[in-house]
Amino acid sequence: MQISRTTLIAPLALTIILTAQADVVDDYATGRSGEALKATLSRHCRPSVAIDSDIIAESLVMLQDKGGNPLDGLTGRPLHDLDFAAVTYIVPLEWMNPVPTFRKEASTDLNNMLLTDGATAIDRGQLPLGDSTDNIDCVTPPPSLKGDIARAVFYIATLYPCELWGSWGRSIFDNTAYPTLRKEWSEMYMRWHQDDPVDEQERRRDEMTRTLQGNSNPFVTHPDLADYLWGEKAGAVYKPSAKPDNPDSPDTPGGATPPGDIDETPTPLRECYDSSDTYVYLYSPYVPDNVSWTVDGTPASGRIEVASLSTGRHELRYSSPTAKGKLIITVRQ
Amino acid sequence: MKSRILLAVILLATVACNKSRPYDDVDPETLKPSGSEDTRPSYSFEGEIADDRCRFVSEQLSLHYDDAGIIFSSEKSAGTTIYRAIGLATGNSAELFMNETDEPRLLVNGTEIKIKSAVKEHENEKGAWIHIQTPDYKHIVFVVTDL
């Protein structure tokens, strides 16, 4: 395999899509929990471009946007000779074979791939990446890569929840829409995720991946999501953390001007509010910009203090020359 | 012996009579194999029109305005009216695109559902009562009113 950085740019330039991606996670996932939260991520965080299989290896080199030799994705050691490098799938495609609904899409998804030494790839075969147990032999990456791999597994479990898994996949995943990851494995990957948090290198890789295939790994841009799906907050309603985790993609919806403090990020409308919420923001990705709002028949704009609303149900309406809509929100103690 | 001859004559006469009656005057419906009758129950939309609460009701998905957190909306864009119902807590959604020239399109949870027809059974200043039928004769009710 001949891989040269200088030859990468030309073919890849045709496939690079530079899109300003609004923070779809906070826009759509806010207010959802469990299966609905996972389904939302699956719906809104998919790749928009299939990477040509001929340039996958080159793309993986590009993702390691750094000086010197690229690092082996399984061992963390420098890859001195790219001629002997190989592409390995974090979640092997063979595991998706019994019902290959997602196999084609997953086969070009850079978020599921690593560049590794050919010999290492052969040694690994289809073994799971994990901590070995009495029952299963695993390939265990160094601590500095464990979090990266855990977040990739979360991504696969979210975007490609197979109806039936083959090989070792049956031990790691179940055939449910949620949680999809079996408990002992989700606990292990959550430990990896917490012990090796997202670092600058992983963020850069994710940003480059988004440039190439049009999507980020939401568990890299919003690390707290994993906790809402498989961690201590599992089942709780997702609320974005106060500070966006990705400084390059601040959690401000496109076109909207946050009311009040300039650093304030409006959270989208949701079904229910309580005393832990300060404001109801009159904003939703499902509502066009520049509409006029009323709350219980009274004109309103920007945001409303939750404390100013009585406990119970409130009707919100919006209108513009071309759009009209309404919904009920509830306020609890 | 005479009685045997008489019986044979009667039988022959009976067969002859049957052969002489073609199927021209037989109701074709009675010739269909048993079980092929149209057994669909009759359906009336009248009861739906009497109810002015916003709702989307199909076999696959039900969204009711009275349940909090469901946005019901209508939007006009380039001659197309888009009716939407979206559950904020689940992301479940129904979107119906209707215009004068093209076939109506229905998307449920972002996936297009094949439909046979989408008819505004009733429309007034408050909204629209839409009756959608699928190719397998399922009925879907989409009411978007009082916006």
CB B116 within 8 A of CB B20: no
Q: Phi first, then psi: give them for residue B108, nearest 5 degrees.
A: -115, 125
Say whether A326 and B147 touch across the interface (CB within 8 A): yes
Q: What average pLDDT is seen over chain A?
A: 85
Q: Which two tokens stand for residue A84?
A: 């002997």
Q: What are the structural domain ranges in chain A? A: 24-230, 259-332
CA distance A275 to A333: 6
Whole-number pLDDT of residue B40: 64
Cβ neighbours around B36 below 10 Å, total: 8
CB A199 within 8 A of CB A37: no
pLDDT digits (tens, 9 = 90+) for A187-210: 999 999 999 999 999 999 999 999
Q: Provide the ipTM.
A: 0.74
For B111, nearest residue in chain A (alpha carbons): A43
Structure confidence at residue B34 as a pLDDT band (50, 70, 90)? low
Residues of chain A positioned with their CB less than 8 A from the CB of B67: 328
Is it the case that residue A69 has pLDDT exceeding 60? yes
CB A116 within 8 A of CB A74: yes
Is it the case that residue A258 has pLDDT exceeding 60? no
Say whether B68 and A32 touch across the interface (CB within 8 A): no
- Which of A27, A292, A311, A326 is most worth mutating to test chain B (most B CB atoms within 10 A of its CB)? A326
Whole-number pLDDT of residue A180: 95
Whole-number pLDDT of residue A24: 87
Half-sphere exposure of A123 (CA within 13 A, CB side): 11
Top-tier CATH class for A259-332: mainly beta
Rg (CA), chain B: 27
Is it the case that residue A240 has pLDDT exceeding 50? yes
CB A131 within 8 A of CB A139: no
CA distance A83 to A70: 12
Chain B: give the shortest CA distance to residue A150, in Å. Answer: 26
CA distance B113 to A268: 28
CB A88 within 8 A of CB A119: no
Whole-number pLDDT of residue B106: 97
Query: Which of B66, B70, B73 shows the shortest C-beta gap to A324?
Result: B73
Task: Report the alpha-carbon angle A3-A9-A13, nearest 5.
Answer: 135
CA distance B143 to B129: 5
Whole-number pLDDT of residue A136: 85
The candidate with the shortest Cα–Cα distance to A150, out of A210, A196, A117, is A196
For A314, nearest residue in chain B (alpha carbons): B68
pLDDT digits (tens, 9 = 90+) for A262-307: 357 789 999 999 989 999 999 999 999 999 999 999 999 999 999 9
Residue A261 DSSP SS3: coil
The candidate with the shortest Cα–Cα distance to A114, out of A71, A167, A157, is A71
CB A43 within 8 A of CB A32: no
CA distance B118 to A60: 48
Report which secondary-structure segment, H or E, holds A273.
strand A272-273
Chain centre distance of CA A18: 18
Percent of chain B beyond pLDDT 90?
Answer: 61
Unique residue bearing structure tokens 């979090």: A147
Unique residue bearing structure tokens 């479990």: A157
pLDDT digits (tens, 9 = 90+) for A85-103: 999 999 999 998 766 778 8
| DSSP conformation class of B134 | -
Which of A157 and A1 is assigned the larger pLDDT? A157
Structure confidence at residue A9 as a pLDDT band (50, 70, 90)? very low
Whole-number pLDDT of residue B98: 95
pLDDT digits (tens, 9 = 90+) for A33-47: 999 999 999 999 999
Taking only residues 38 to 97 of chain B, the set having a beta carbon closer than 8 angstroms to any beta carbon of chain A reads: 54, 65-77, 84, 86, 88-92
Query: Which of A269, A323, A328 shows the shortest C-beta gap to B75?
Result: A323
Is it the case that residue B11 has pLDDT exceeding 70? no
